[in-house]
Amino acid sequence: MSKFTILIHGGAGTILKSEITAKQEANYKNALEVALACGYLVLENGGSALDAVRAAVVSLEDIDLFNAGKGSVFASDGSQEMDAAIMDGKTLDAGAVAAVRNIRNPIELAFAVMTQSDHVLLNGRGAEDFARVHNIKSEPDDYFFSALRLAQLKQAQQKGEMMLDHRSLNPNKKFGTVGAVACDVEGNIAAATSTGGMTNKKWGRVGDSPIIGAGTYANNRTCAISCTGHGEPFIRAVTAYDVSCLMEYKNLSLHDAMDKVVHDKLLKLDGEGGMIGVDAKGNAAMMFNSEGMYRAMKNSEGEMEINIYK
């Protein structure tokens, strides 16, 4: 039986302790702890890494603290366009969706794409039609509405730019893309990522989260990775897969491979953000080059960590 491990993240960016109240910090940590527990319970009961990462991400999508699911930011037209991906390290099967609207849990739709279709990535209206065929739960616009998110949209529109939520000047800002990686008792690993993207995004912009190899990747031979940050550099660096390549072809450890990508390769592309990773032995790492990253980890050896700041 392998050591089993789960890690989750809720976004990385300019997260400063001086800008978050004690109550806000407690709320974030509680949300991370709940999601961590949801995923860990699956592993503890002998469930798969794939089901564990689904459970953890659904928990994070169902609250409005993070930029995914219910908490997704507004696009320029006032809608929420959401992206998600999931990948099974045992089989290399993957599913992803991009620019979907009104889907309560985009990660469940990504899972359906992986398990109920011959495709990997569906987008927009087609993905929404697929969701209806497969009874994926949807919600009306008001389910996703947030006065804070609307204020962030207006702020971005006044500045005439797209904006990562972790760069918002709003003192009550909310953060980030969510994700999970896990290793189960059989030594199988999986990764999942979900996001609402950038505030005021236009033209159907899609970031790294649903792109297999960029924001999400899992392979039992190497690692499972879920990324968070400014998506464009992560896409250009093929970030998640690059970690896997460094492990497979240069025999780097999970920690060293992630460190090389996050603190060297990404920085050369002005790529701000971070990632969580696990290998098939249950080893874990959480790496970021920003001021902070909402993150948590728990394994079967009794280790547990929930952190926000550097």
For the chain, the domain total comes to 1
- Write down the pLDDT at residue 297: 98
- Write down the pLDDT at residue 17: 85
For 168-193, write each residue's pLDDT tens digit: 444 344 458 999 999 999 999 999 99
- Write down the pLDDT at residue 39: 98
- Write down the pLDDT at residue 166: 46
Dihedral sign, CA of 101, 145, 105, 211?
positive
- Write down the pLDDT at residue 168: 45
- Write down the pLDDT at residue 146: 80
- Write down the pLDDT at residue 155: 81
CATH number for the domain spanning 144: value is 3.60.20.30
Q: Which residue numbers in the chain have pLDDT < 70? A: 161-175
- Max Cα-Cα span within the chain: 56
On whether the CB atoms of residues 43 and 12 are closer than 8 A, the answer is: no
Closest CA to 8 of 26, 27, 46, 34: 34
193 is an active site residue: no
Q: Which of 177, 199, 222, 239 does the annotation list as catalytic? A: 177
Q: What is the pTM of this model?
A: 0.94
- Write down the pLDDT at residue 174: 44
Q: What are phi and psi of 188, to 5 degrees?
A: -90, 145
Instruction: Give the residue numbers spanning the domain of 21.
Output: 5-309
Three-state DSSP state, 37: helix
